[in-house]
């Protein structure tokens, strides 16, 4: 979900609520994406984290490894997606001049990393920053880093 406008306060508030729940040891009644637990605890996000956000895209990207003639698919370093409240699709270059870079077996890993980086970070950079800022107002990064993502998710959501 991509939000627009001046929603910084909402994301900071949500971060504070998450921070308060962690600080007080309260379980919250909603699911938080596992990749967010990785971000909160300072761990690296990987391709498999995309599965929870967009399973169809994850499977499509994973299947690229099995394509013998990958170049024949005409995939480049762009991503086409619908934009809320607008008709049609928007094309985003995942790297500078991405529309001119064809995905090959040699750069496939870089393509995968670029997709994950865009979808889980770049596209929601401002909102993620505000959310993390809100959490860290109550629980410092250093304290969160002692947990692995599964522990943090269990602490916050009561789930694994």
- The enclosing domain of 148 has a CATH number of 3.90.1750.10
Longest dimension (CA), the chain: 55
CB 104 within 8 A of CB 71: yes
Are 32 and 75 found together in one domain?
A: no
CB 99 within 8 A of CB 91: yes
Beta bridge partners, 78, equal: 93
CATH label of the domain that carries residue 91: 3.30.2160.10
pTM above 0.95, yes or no: no
Are 91 and 137 found together in one domain?
A: no
| pLDDT of 17 | 93
Are 115 and 130 found together in one domain?
A: no
**Degrees, nearest 5: CA angle 16-8-135:** 20
Residue 138's domain comprises: 1-43+125-160
Are 130 and 86 found together in one domain?
A: no
| pLDDT of 79 | 94
pLDDT, tens digit, 9 for 90 and up, residues 88-125? 888 999 999 999 999 999 999 999 999 999 999 999 99
For the chain, the domain total comes to 2
Confidence of residue 69 (pLDDT cuts 50, 70, 90): confident
Write the CA distances from 69 to 59, 64, 82, 139, integer angstroms: 18, 10, 28, 49
pLDDT, tens digit, 9 for 90 and up, residues 17-30? 999 999 998 998 88
- Residue 73 confidence (pLDDT) above 60: yes
Are 92 and 71 found together in one domain?
A: yes
Q: Mean pLDDT over residues 75-83, rounded?
A: 91
| pLDDT of 5 | 59
């Amino acid at each position: 979900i991509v939000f627009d406008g001046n929603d910084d306060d909402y994301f900071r508030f949500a971060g504070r609520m998450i921070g308060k729940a962690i600080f007080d040891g309260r379980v919250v009644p909603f699911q938080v994406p596992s990749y967010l637990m990785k971000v909160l605890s300072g761990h690296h996000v990987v391709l498999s984290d995309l599965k929870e956000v967009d399973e169809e895209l994850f499977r499509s990207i994973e299947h690229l490894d099995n394509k013998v003639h990958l170049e024949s698919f005409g995939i480049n370093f762009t991503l086409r997606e619908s934009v809320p409240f607008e008709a049609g699709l928007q094309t985003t270059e995942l790297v500078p001049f991405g529309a001119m870079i064809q995905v090959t077996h040699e750069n496939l890993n870089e393509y995968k990393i670029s997709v994950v980086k865009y979808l889980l970070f770049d596209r929601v950079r401002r909102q993620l920053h505000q959310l993390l800022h809100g959490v860290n107002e109550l629980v410092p990064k250093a304290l969160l880093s002692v947990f692995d993502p599964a522990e943090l998710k269990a602490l916050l959501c009561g789930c694994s």
